[in-house]
C-alpha cells in the first residue's frame, strides 16, 4: 500500500487518515471540493502529498480523479470517504434526493472510475469506502441516508463479483462506522454510541492496513448491527426509533 487516494479529505475522517499516512511517508493523493486544508497538508509534506479539487456530484469528477492519479504516479488503494448526511424531519424531497445523489449516484461514479483504472492498468489494487451501520436496515428518521448507505454496500458487493468474473485483481474493504464526532454532526447534540475521532480513526486505519472485507467500527456497533439483522422487516417497520 504505497500510494493511496482519499476522496473527501478536507476535514473529519478523511483529513485525519491523510495526515496519519503522510506522517508515515506514504504517497497520498487528496481530493475534495475545497482545497484549503489540502494545500496546507501539501506544504507540511511536500514529498508525500498531491491534491485536486473534485466535486463527486459533477460529471467531470472521473477525469479529475484520473489527473490526480497521474500526479501521484499511480494508485494502489482508492479510499472513498465523501458523503453527506443531515436531518430531514419534514421529509423534503429535494434534500432526500440530494443525499441519494451524493451517497449513491456519485459513489458509483467514483468507485467505477477506480475499478476501471485497476482493470486498465492490469495491476492489483484495493477499493475501500466508508459506508455506515445505518445501511443495515432502513431507518425512518434517516430514510435517504440509510438507503444510500445500503446502496453503497450493495454496489461494492456487485463490483467484487464483477472483479472476480473479469479476473481483475481488486480487494474491497467496506468500513461501517456509527456516529463519529465530525463536522457532519450537530454541535451540542448527543448521538447513540457516539465516538470521538481520536477513538474511531485508529480503528479505520487498522481496517485500511489489515484489509478485512467488512469492518464495523467499533465492537459495540458490531453487536447492535448483529441484533438488527435478526429483526424481521414485519417487526422492524412497526418499531419506533428514538430521535437522534
Considering only the C-alpha atoms of the chain, give the largest distance between any 2 of them, rounded to a whole number of Å.
55
Residue 5 has a pLDDT of 98
CA distance 72 to 5: 9
Residue 189 has a pLDDT of 74
CA distance 84 to 98: 9
52, 111, 115, 141, 173 from 108: Cα distances, Å: 19, 5, 10, 24, 15
For residue 170, give the DSSP letter.
E
Q: To the nearest 5 percent, what fractions of the chain are helix, strand and coil? A: 50, 15, 35
Residue 94 has a pLDDT of 97
Phi and psi torsions of 187, nearest 5°: -70, 140
Helix (H, G, I), strand (E, B) or coil at 9: coil
Residue 37 has a pLDDT of 96
Residue 93 has a pLDDT of 97
- Parallel, antiparallel, or unpaired for β 27-32 and 77-80? unpaired
Please work out, in degrees rounded to the nearest 5, the angle formed at the alpha carbon of residue 104 by the alpha carbons of 220 and 197.
35
Residue 1 has a pLDDT of 59
pLDDT along the chain (244 residues), means of 10: 92 95 96 96 97 98 98 97 91 96 98 98 96 94 95 98 98 94 73 88 96 95 94 92 55
- Parallel, antiparallel, or unpaired for β 170-177 and 214-217? parallel
Residue 87 has a pLDDT of 83
Left (φ > 0), alpha (ψ -120 to 50) or beta: where does 73 sit?
A: left
Q: What's the pTM? A: 0.94
Helix orientation angle between 106-121 and 143-166, rounded to the nearest 10 degrees = 20
Helix (H, G, I), strand (E, B) or coil at 239: coil
Amino acid at each position: 500500500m504505497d500510494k493511496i487516494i482519499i476522496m473527501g479529505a478536507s476535514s473529519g475522517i478523511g483529513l485525519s487518515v491523510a495526515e496519519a499516512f503522510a506522517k508515515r511517508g506514504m504517497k497520498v493523493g487528496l481530493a475534495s471540493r475545497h482545497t484549503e486544508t489540502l494545500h496546507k497538508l501539501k506544504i507540511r509534506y511536500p514529498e508525500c502529498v498531491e491534491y485536486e479539487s473534485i466535486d463527486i456530484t459533477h460529471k467531470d469528477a472521473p477525469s479529475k480523479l484520473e489527473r490526480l492519479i497521474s500526479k501521484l504516479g499511480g494508485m494502489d488503494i482508492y479510499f472513498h470517504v465523501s458523503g453527506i448526511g443531515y436531518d430531514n424531519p419534514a421529509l423534503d424531497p429535494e434534500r432526500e434526493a440530494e443525499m441519494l445523489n451524493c451517497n449513491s449516484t456519485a459513489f458509483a461514479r467514483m468507485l467505477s472510475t477506480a475499478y476501471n483504472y485497476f482493470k486498465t492498468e492490469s495491476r492489483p489494487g484495493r477499493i475501500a469506502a466508508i459506508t455506515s451501520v445505518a445501511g443495515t436496515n432502513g431507518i425512518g428518521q434517516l430514510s435517504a441516508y440509510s438507503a444510500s448507505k445500503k446502496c453503497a454496500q450493495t454496489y461494492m458487493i456487485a463490483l467484487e463479483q464483477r472483479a472476480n468474473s473479469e479476473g481483475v485483481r481488486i480487494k474491497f474493504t467496506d468500513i461501517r462506522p456509527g456516529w463519529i464526532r465530525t463536522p457532519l454532526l450537530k454541535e451540542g447534540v448527543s448521538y447513540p454510541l457516539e465516538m470521538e475521532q481520536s477513538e474511531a480513526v485508529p480503528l479505520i486505519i487498522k481496517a485500511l492496513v489489515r484489509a478485512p472485507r467488512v469492518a464495523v467500527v467499533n465492537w459495540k456497533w458490531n453487536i447492535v448491527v448483529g441484533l438488527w439483522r435478526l429483526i424481521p422487516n414485519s417487526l422492524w417497520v412497526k418499531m419506533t426509533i428514538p430521535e437522534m
